[in-house]
Structure formats: structure tokens, C-alpha cells
Amino acid sequence: MSGADEFGEIARLFRPLTRGDAGAFDLLDDAAVIPQRAGHDLVVTKDAIVEGVHFPVGEKPDLIGRKLLRVNLSDLAAKAAEPFACFLAVAWPAGFEVRDRERFALGLHADLETFGLALLGGDTVSTPGPFTASLTALGWVPQGRMIRRSGARPGDLVMVSGNIGDGVLGLDAVQGRIVDRGGQLAFRYRFPEPRLDLRDLLRKSATASADVSDGLIADVRHIALASGVQIHLDLDQLPLSRGAATWLEQQPDIAAALVRLASGGDDYEVVCTLPRGVRRPPGFTIVGEVTEGEGLEVRAAGRPVDPGQGGWTHV
């Protein structure tokens, strides 16, 4: 679906991103080919981003490309999949000049190298609206071994990797609403780190898993729903960065502040359930437990709280 000029630009901007993968046909074909990998299933995810909704207006083009890849890799990380390829659809807005498009492609290229993926195809179009793009990311898992959201069982413990809440505070920092010494919080928001390092651990021990993109409360609720169990979440156990802990101390209503940290999303950590007998893996924090029943019970500041929808806040 490319015009003639577009065809030349696709070649110049994006062919290097195929990284020599034969199945990309140098982006000269209508489609890409992915050969089978014996003993493996293909895992596929697809997330979209819109300027002014998922990243601030005026964001640097290379960071847009990198964040687009990273949010998709975060989904594959939670599934314990090994990413290898992606497809890109991007709608360039009127003001997005050649140099911006080049920078977007360079940013994406840098992270494809970092994470070992090849761009196999996609589409570039024009839009009278804001910058919009979607990425389809593909990974491998050993056959039948994808970690689902639906495997949590009564008795399991709920654990989360890294820190929670830096995503939503990072957005506050980017928008100048809070002080962010050293820019750590804004960096976390702009530049998520997909937890691909957790693959072996998740495959070995996790009964269910999701990435924390919508907010811990929402993502844990999804696990409860998909698994047909009840989950009890204790926000007093939330692992916090120094920046988030400092912010929390200054809040008048600690329970409300904890709910906010667990509702904001954009953390791109992994929340998972593990059987109670399994030793807590390094870097994980126990934040709850699974029982029979349904839905989510949340405690904060030592008492039950109503987390509302616990949804995800856009920019």
C-alpha cells in the first residue's frame, strides 16, 4: 500500500532494520515469511501508540521508536517469550519531516539491535492527525509453555519485579507536576526496560504472569479474572524507588497515594503468581496472595481500600 516515493523511502529508512533476515525480502515484497521453529509456539502481541496519548507531544522521534518497541517487548517478556521479529505500521503526521522519520527509524534500529529483533515488514502512511504507530512483535516459546494470565491458583503468592509507581510519577515529572531530582522518574517513563531477563525464572516457576502496563491493580485484576480466582493485594508491600518513596512521604493521604502508584501504569515490570513453596526470586517482592473466589481485594495503609477501576492514566 505504498506509493512510488514512499517505496524509495521505505528502502532507505527501514531496510537496515531487517538486519539481513531473509524472510523480510529486503522489504521489497507484499509479505514476509517466517519459517517454523521445531518444538516451539509463536507468541504474538500488538500495541499501538498515539502522540499526545501515549507519549508527550514533541517527544524526540528516536525515543518514540524505542518506546514503541519496548512496550511490545514488555508483553513478550511477561509471557516468557524470546522475541525475534516485528512488523511496523506508522502514520507520519504533516510536521514530521524527513529528519524526524530518520531519527524514528534510527531509534527503532538501535533497540532492534539491543534486543536482537529484525523488522520484517509493515506499512507507512500519511495522516492529517497525530503521529500514530503500531508494532506487532513475535517471539518463540517452547511448545505449550507460554505463561498465561489464566494460571493463578488458590494458595499462590503474587510477586512483582522491580519497582512500581515510577511510570505514573515519571509522567508527572515529564509534565512538570513534580520535582524529579536527576530526572530518574522521567527517564523511567520515557524509556521502559522490558524484563526479558526474567524469562528463565518465569518459565521455571510462574503459574500466571502479565506485564504492568495498565497499572498494577488493573493488571492483577486481569489475572484474577482470567484465572477465576480472588487476589488480595497489599499496597503497603509495594516496592518503591527512592524517588517514589520520597514522593509518598509527602502525600497527605498515604492510602490514596499508594492506590495512585498502583493504578498509573507504564511501569513495564512483571507481576506473576508462584506456588507458595517456591523460593522468592531475587528482585521480586511479594505483594499479595491468591485465594478461591473472584475479583480483587486491595489493602493500603493497613486497611481495605476501594481501588476504583484502578485503570491506566493517559498523558
Buried b (16+ CB within 10 A) or exposed e, 127-141: eeeebbbbbbbbbbb
Nearer to a second copy, 42 or 178 (CB): 42
Q: Is position 149 annotated in a ligand binding site?
A: yes
Q: Is position 151 annotated in a ligand binding site?
A: no
Cβ 315 to a second copy, closest distance in Å?
11
Asked if 120 and 23 touch (Cβ cutoff 8 Å), the reply is yes
In angstroms, rounded to a whole number, what is the distance separating the alpha carbons of residues 295 and 42? 30
Asked if 248 and 254 touch (Cβ cutoff 8 Å), the reply is yes
Cβ 37 to a second copy, closest distance in Å?
8
Nearer to a second copy, 78 or 185 (CB): 78
Nearer to a second copy, 23 or 283 (CB): 23
Cβ 126 to a second copy, closest distance in Å?
6
Nearer to a second copy, 49 or 169 (CB): 49
Cβ 290 to a second copy, closest distance in Å?
16
Nearer to a second copy, 115 or 180 (CB): 115
Nearer to a second copy, 125 or 256 (CB): 125
Helices (H), 116-181: 166-174
Residue 295, classified by CB atoms within 10 Å of its CB into exposed (0-12), middle (13-18) or buried (19+), is exposed
Nearer to a second copy, 151 or 243 (CB): 151
In angstroms, rounded to a whole number, what is the distance separating the alpha carbons of residues 281 and 245? 23
Q: Is position 234 annotated in a ligand binding site?
A: no
User: Alpha-carbon torsion 21, 25, 27, 32, what sign?
Assistant: negative
Cβ 277 to a second copy, closest distance in Å?
25
In angstroms, rounded to a whole number, what is the distance separating the alpha carbons of residues 196 and 247? 29
Residue 17's closest CA among 110, 124, 134, 131? Answer: 110
Q: Is position 45 annotated in a ligand binding site?
A: yes
Q: Is position 30 annotated in a ligand binding site?
A: yes
Q: Is position 123 annotated in a ligand binding site?
A: yes
Q: Is position 312 annotated in a ligand binding site?
A: yes
Asked if 134 and 31 touch (Cβ cutoff 8 Å), the reply is no
Q: Is position 54 annotated in a ligand binding site?
A: yes
Direct distance between the N- and C-terminal alpha carbons of the chain, in angstroms, rounded to an integer: 31
Cβ 29 to a second copy, closest distance in Å?
5
In angstroms, rounded to a whole number, what is the distance separating the alpha carbons of residues 199 and 284? 14
Cβ 96 to a second copy, closest distance in Å?
13
Q: Three-state DSSP class for 253?
A: coil
In the block, which residue shows the cell 539481513? 20
Specify binding-site residues for substrate: 54, 266, 312
Binding-site residue set for ATP: 122-123, 149, 213
Give binding residues for Mg(2+) as ranges.
30, 45, 47, 75, 123, 211, 214
Binding-site residues from annotation = 30, 45, 47, 54, 75, 122-123, 149, 211, 213-214, 266, 312
